[in-house]
Amino acid sequence: MIFITAKFQIKPEDADRWPEIAGAFTRATRAEPGCLWFDWSRSVDDPNEYVLVEAFRDGDAGAAHVNSAHFKQAQRDLPPHLRSTPRIVSQNIEQDDWSELGEMAVK
């Protein structure tokens, strides 16, 4: 799968509304057949930072995502709400779901 984590610095005046602002893009991406997950979290240290954790089944699913109409729309709609260009880590990994964190196993 392609595993991606991206950090978004949102303009302070838009930070509380970010889930709404990115809502249509989020829903459309989650509906893609190759999307495994697409989850936003807000930083506990910086209220203007959101972290996106996403995964796609394979390279074809990733390509379908970045070539989709909703991705192209997000490229137009989301940047006006950002303080800076998002930062990303993207890796191809040999798994298709989350693994358990054995060091903190619940017994």
Count of domains forming the chain:
1
Q: Is residue 66 part of a domain?
A: yes
Q: Residues 37-87: pLDDT tens digits?
A: 999 999 999 999 999 999 999 999 999 999 999 999 999 999 999 999 999
What CATH code is carried by the domain that includes residue 8?
Answer: 3.30.70.100
- How would you list the strands of the sheet with 49-56, edge to edge? 35-42, 49-56, 2-9, 87-92
- Residue 29 is part of which domain span? 2-93
Q: Residues 7-40: pLDDT tens digits?
A: 999 999 999 999 999 999 999 999 999 999 999 9
Q: Is residue 106 part of a domain?
A: no
As a whole number of angstroms, the distance between CA 41 and CA 61 comes to 23
